[in-house]
Chains A and B, each alone.
Chain A
């Protein structure tokens, strides 16, 4: 039996989880990294849809919840999806104690807190099922648990840790009460929930879980196994809603964040989607009437992931609408005034963060700063240009790292981990990171804005 570290990445669209042997950081073997098969549905079994749907007489979870929400969309019904957004609000207690809107809960019986606890119970049960079905993990051992989170609210994520572990604790108590029924495609009946949830909530204890910042998890999967890798790193994380820049310094066995370097920009993937969509609408001369423009916009948004990827990777994308082809080129996007403003802001934010991390590296006599881009926008040319930019002063030198680390191409995976690595990266990095990289542990969090005070502990 072995000891393992489990990390849950509670994502906006999907939740992911991965397990690595305890001590993987100092004795790294790529073959021992185990992404968990959380979902029995769909072709990508590693992604568990983050969704809860309150039906007529029951609550559904995951893919089934989304399918039912789609089927009832005409009745103004929707699944609750944006857990991560909810958990990032400034007044979390108030948000959790708010009643769910009628589109989500027509019975008006659930607060947002209840639905999050129910989903976390489903997630924990899915994790348990995945561990039991993995031949390596099923042999037993102890599992130390962590979850990954962005540096929410300008640095107060660690302060929210107590609330999150309490929610996980309630979820664990509820899961124990209802057993495997929560994994049924039929979901749970409202009666089962109303019988079990109140007592589970009352009896729950905070779960022993660590918190790792997503930027730190990125640093972990980038640096693991590298002899003499740089002590300092700057991470540019462009997601859907925000672009976050974070700087980290590894000092002996511990990793600290340089909080003054952190910047969050409100423009990110969704903003670029809109810029591209508007360029296409401008180019589609045949779509003048409002209904034609609405139809084109809908088509665009449905295919935007592929369109944006082609624009960024190939410099151009072509799509067909109503029997006509329309193209959009990267150079058109780069001419857009709003996009140029975003690029300027991003460059300024990056330069600000880079100056801080380079000063810190210089002050500590270090010679290298690694740069890495993560998230959906990592491969965008302007992000890659940013992290590869040459500096006027040569030291400390800038060393750009690939978004998918070389070890993800290890022969053991037969070429199959690297293509899905970006989706699983944070969970894997969180599982590989040593304890000294955690922002908070157990049910205890360090004082807000004092993340560099993480106690030193050898892995």
Chain B
């Protein structure tokens, strides 16, 4: 059987049906932009399950690493980038940082506990920060 015969029997793909219906440029860009991110997110969901069912610390650590990897890949495919570096000590700026704890007195210096996320100059999530304890600073 030639490829032509096989193809004529196959169903029209969803993508081709959408093309026939006249997909807008924005919708097509969105579908293309999400395609690889979708695959990475699917991978992340499976990896997350493995973090729950892993037997032993080593297996759990491996699964967590793969989960982080899949999430990072999904983020990159969506044009997201990290902001700041973990453990960096900076002067606290309430406009630029989310303080991760309730404090009586605003800290002068903070440490980045979780990086922020940006896309094209827009900050989607500020870096989460904590106070620098005296013990750690010394």
User: Do the beta carbons of A40 and B78 come within 8 Å of each other?
Assistant: no
B26 interfacial by beta-carbon distance below 8 Å: yes
The residue on B at minimum CB distance from A42 is B15
Complex CA gap A44/B138 in Å reads: 53
The residue on B at minimum CB distance from A63 is B13
Convert B14-36 into 0s and 1s, putting 1 for each residue whose CB lies closer than 8 angstroms to a CB of A.
01100110111110111111110
Bin chain A's interface residue count.
35 or more
Complex CA gap A434/B6 in Å reads: 46
Q: How far is the CB of B106 from chain A (nearest CB, A)?
A: 33
Complex CA gap A412/B121 in Å reads: 16
B residues near A46, Cβ cutoff 8 Å: 28-29, 32
Convert A411-454 into 0s and 1s, putting 1 for each residue whose CB lies closer than 8 angstroms to a CB of B.
01111111110000000000000000000000000000000000
Number of interface residues of B (CB under 8 A): 40
Known: A187-B3, A325-B66, A404-B79. A306 touches B73 (CB 8 A): yes
Interface of A is mostly: mixed
B76 interfacial by beta-carbon distance below 8 Å: yes
B120 interfacial by beta-carbon distance below 8 Å: yes
A residues near B24, Cβ cutoff 8 Å: 135
A60-75 interface with B by 8 A CB criterion: 60, 64, 67-68, 71
Complex CA gap A317/B23 in Å reads: 37
Stretch of A99-107, A271-279, A307-315 with 4 or more beta carbons under 8 angstroms from chain B: A307-315
A327 interfacial by beta-carbon distance below 8 Å: yes
A41 interfacial by beta-carbon distance below 8 Å: yes
Stretch of A51-59, A225-233, A287-295 with 4 or more beta carbons under 8 angstroms from chain B: A51-59
User: Do the beta carbons of A186 and B7 come within 8 Å of each other?
Assistant: yes
Q: How far is the CB of B46 from chain A (nearest CB, A)?
A: 11
Q: How far is the CB of B77 from chain A (nearest CB, A)?
A: 6
B residues near A64, Cβ cutoff 8 Å: 3, 7
B119 interfacial by beta-carbon distance below 8 Å: yes
User: Do the beta carbons of A56 and B33 come within 8 Å of each other?
Assistant: no
User: Do the beta carbons of B30 and A187 come within 8 Å of each other?
Assistant: no
B114 interfacial by beta-carbon distance below 8 Å: no
A residues near B44, Cβ cutoff 8 Å: none
B109 interfacial by beta-carbon distance below 8 Å: no
A345 interfacial by beta-carbon distance below 8 Å: no
Q: How far is the CB of A262 from chain B (nearest CB, A)?
A: 30
- Inter-chain CB contacts under 8 Å: number: 132
Complex CA gap A367/B7 in Å reads: 59
Convert B42-65 into 0s and 1s, putting 1 for each residue whose CB lies closer than 8 angstroms to a CB of A.
000000000000000000001001
Q: Of the candidates A133, A318, A415, which one forms a contact with B66 in the assembled complex, judged by CB atoms under 8 Å apart?
A: A318
The residue on B at minimum CB distance from A43 is B35
A45 interfacial by beta-carbon distance below 8 Å: yes
User: Do the beta carbons of B30 and A314 come within 8 Å of each other?
Assistant: no
A residues near B8, Cβ cutoff 8 Å: 185-186
Known: A40-B19, A133-B19. A58 touches B4 (CB 8 A): yes
A392 interfacial by beta-carbon distance below 8 Å: no
B113 interfacial by beta-carbon distance below 8 Å: no
Convert A310-350 into 0s and 1s, putting 1 for each residue whose CB lies closer than 8 angstroms to a CB of B.
10011011111000010100000000000000000000000
User: Do the beta carbons of B7 and A313 come within 8 Å of each other?
Assistant: no
B125 interfacial by beta-carbon distance below 8 Å: no
A35 interfacial by beta-carbon distance below 8 Å: yes
User: Do the beta carbons of A185 and B72 come within 8 Å of each other?
Assistant: no
Q: How far is the CB of A383 from chain B (nearest CB, A)?
A: 16
User: Do the beta carbons of A409 and B37 come within 8 Å of each other?
Assistant: no
Convert A385-421 into 0s and 1s, putting 1 for each residue whose CB lies closer than 8 angstroms to a CB of B.
0000000000000000000101011001111111110
- Beyond the given pairs A64-B7, A71-B3, A310-B69, 14 more chain A to chain B contacts, judged by CB atoms under 8 angstroms and listed by A's residue number, are A40-B19, A45-B19, A45-B32, A185-B4, A185-B8, A186-B7, A309-B73, A325-B65, A406-B121, A413-B26, A414-B26, A415-B79, A416-B30, A420-B29
Binding site for B on A (CB under 8 A): 34-35, 37, 40-47, 53, 55-58, 60, 64, 67-68, 71, 133-135, 185-187, 306, 309-310, 313-314, 316-320, 325, 327, 404, 406, 408-409, 412-420
- In the complex, the 8 A-B pairs of residues with the closest C-beta atoms, listed nearest first: A409-B120, A186-B4, A43-B35, A325-B62, A416-B29, A44-B32, A419-B33, A40-B16
Can you spell out 30 A-B residue pairs with CB atoms less than 8 angstroms apart? Answer: A37-B19, A37-B25, A40-B15, A40-B19, A43-B15, A45-B23, A53-B3, A55-B4, A58-B4, A64-B7, A133-B19, A185-B4, A186-B7, A187-B3, A187-B4, A309-B73, A314-B68, A319-B66, A404-B79, A406-B120, A408-B120, A409-B122, A412-B26, A415-B33, A415-B78, A416-B29, A416-B34, A417-B29, A419-B37, A419-B78
